[in-house]
Amino acid sequence: MALSTVWLEWLVLGASHELMLFASVGILLIGLDDLLFDALWLGTRGERQARPTGKPPLAGTIAVFIPAWDEHRILAAMLRRSLAAWEGENVRIYIGCYPNDAATLFAISPLVASDRRLRLVVNEREGPTTKGDNLNRLWAALGKDERAEGMRFAAIVLHDAEDHVHPGEIALYRRHLNDAAMVQIPVVPIIACGARWIGGHYGDEFAEAHGKELVVRSRLGMPLPSAGVGCALTRHTLALLALERGGDPFRCNSLTEDYELGMVIGAYGLRTRFVDETGLAGDRVVSRGAFPDRADAAVRQKARWIAGIALAGWDHLGWPGSRRDGPTVQPSRIWLARWMLWRDRRAPLAALILLAAYAGMLLTAFGWAGQVLFGWEAVAVSDGIRMLLALNALLLVWRLAMRSLFAGRCYGWREAAWAVPRAFVANVIAMLAARRAMLIYWRILRSGEVVWDKTEHRESDMPTDVVAAPVVGR
């Protein structure tokens, strides 16, 4: 063998072995973590979903907060859909805009002028600030309206400019908020038939997260992360958070203020609830929305989630029981709450493990090619590695089966089949997003500034070629 390829053989075979060993151990640990959670879901399936108490539904006007920056393409259509869906409901929709976003202001001004249920709030500062700051301005406007009108709102609902609300949503909140501080309903991404790979992987992930993850947390009474849409909180709850935070209930210096909101509420012992019910028409009461259908937009959005939840969120929330000035957690539930937080924060580590696995597979393939072309030694796979690979293969089959199961329950058997190859797409996006998240977090640490890195939305109405979500047993 030529001397020029000796060093390359050593590098390829040595690096592939070490990468595969690291990845195999990491995948095994994360796979066992998921398997344990799946067992917990299966073990609690017999428990019935929390039902409304005998108390009367929550009375009074409900405010809906919709923060907006550069949403002139979609916001007017969303407001028309919401007003039509909630015809007859006692609601008032607060829209937060910016003085330097003339396109959005012009797009919605005719609607605001013609319907008293709409309240336009223009931020004093030019945008974009942060979503938390926008929501705080809406909270301040709500307080001014209460003082001016001598009334008090009953609850606040959070939605985004791209959402498709459900007609039975407000009634559901009224039934459950009489004994809960926060209620979250399922979020169902709209899967357009022409965007099954990028947009579809959101459907797979939300179907599993809101069909299993939040269900188990709600059953166990764990703090429940808010999705930021399809979420309702009592006015007293937001008032309590406002008192704790100097007047503003939403954290301004966070990329995921909605997630932190739910976790803080639960950590303080207030009851949070995930509700998956069917409406009067027999369909699920869910919040639908269009998610990115391009790879770059998906990476940007997921990078913001990872940076906000796994990195900056760690700084903001810490770990249950680790801060003396934090909320008190029962000793028997501390480790359970920490486990749930670990599952939220493991995304950067999981991305690193996936990167090592794909790099190890690529180098192993190079090793086989070198064996054929240059006469390198056969790629050696130890018995330990073989056992790890076999266990990981079994866990992979189980994981794909679970992903397919929940996608099928939400979207039907065709999307269940698509969910298997889409897992690879989800992995690639997760790795790219983790890299971008580290850069975002580094910039935040250096500058101390957080900017609303929002997702661009282009569609004004629900696409005509979308995958419908069937009603299934839960």
- pLDDT(465) > 50: no
- pLDDT(436) > 80: yes
- pLDDT(422) > 90: yes
Residue, of 151 and 17, whose pLDDT is higher: 151
pLDDT at 108: 97
- pLDDT tens digits, 401-412: 999 999 999 999
Distance, in Å, from the CA atom of 258 to the CA atom of 245, rounded to the nearest integer, reads 15
- pLDDT(267) > 90: no
Least confident of 195-204, 250-259, 361-370: 361-370
Distance, in Å, from the CA atom of 284 to the CA atom of 279, rounded to the nearest integer, reads 6
Average pLDDT over residues 178-191: 95
Q: Where are the domains of the chain?
A: 62-300
Fold of 62-300: Spore Coat Polysaccharide Biosynthesis Protein SpsA; Chain A (3.90.550)
Distance, in Å, from the CA atom of 221 to the CA atom of 182, rounded to the nearest integer, reads 12
Share of the chain above pLDDT 70, in %: 89
The pTM assigned to this predicted structure is 0.91
pLDDT at 159: 98
Q: Where are the beta strands (DSSP E) in 261-390?
A: 272-274, 287-290
| Cis before 128 (ω within 30) | yes
Average pLDDT over residues 435-440: 95
Average pLDDT over residues 157-161: 97
- pLDDT tens digits, 4-28: 566 677 677 778 888 988 999 999 9
pLDDT at 363: 87
Sign, CA torsion 441/443/447/452: negative
Using DSSP, state whether 58 is helix, strand or coil: coil
pLDDT at 260: 92
pLDDT band at 50 (very low <50, low <70, confident <90, very high): low
For residue 384, give both structure tokens.
């330990």
> Regarding beta strands 231-234 and 182-184, do their DSSP bridges make them parallel or antiparallel, or are they unpaired?
antiparallel
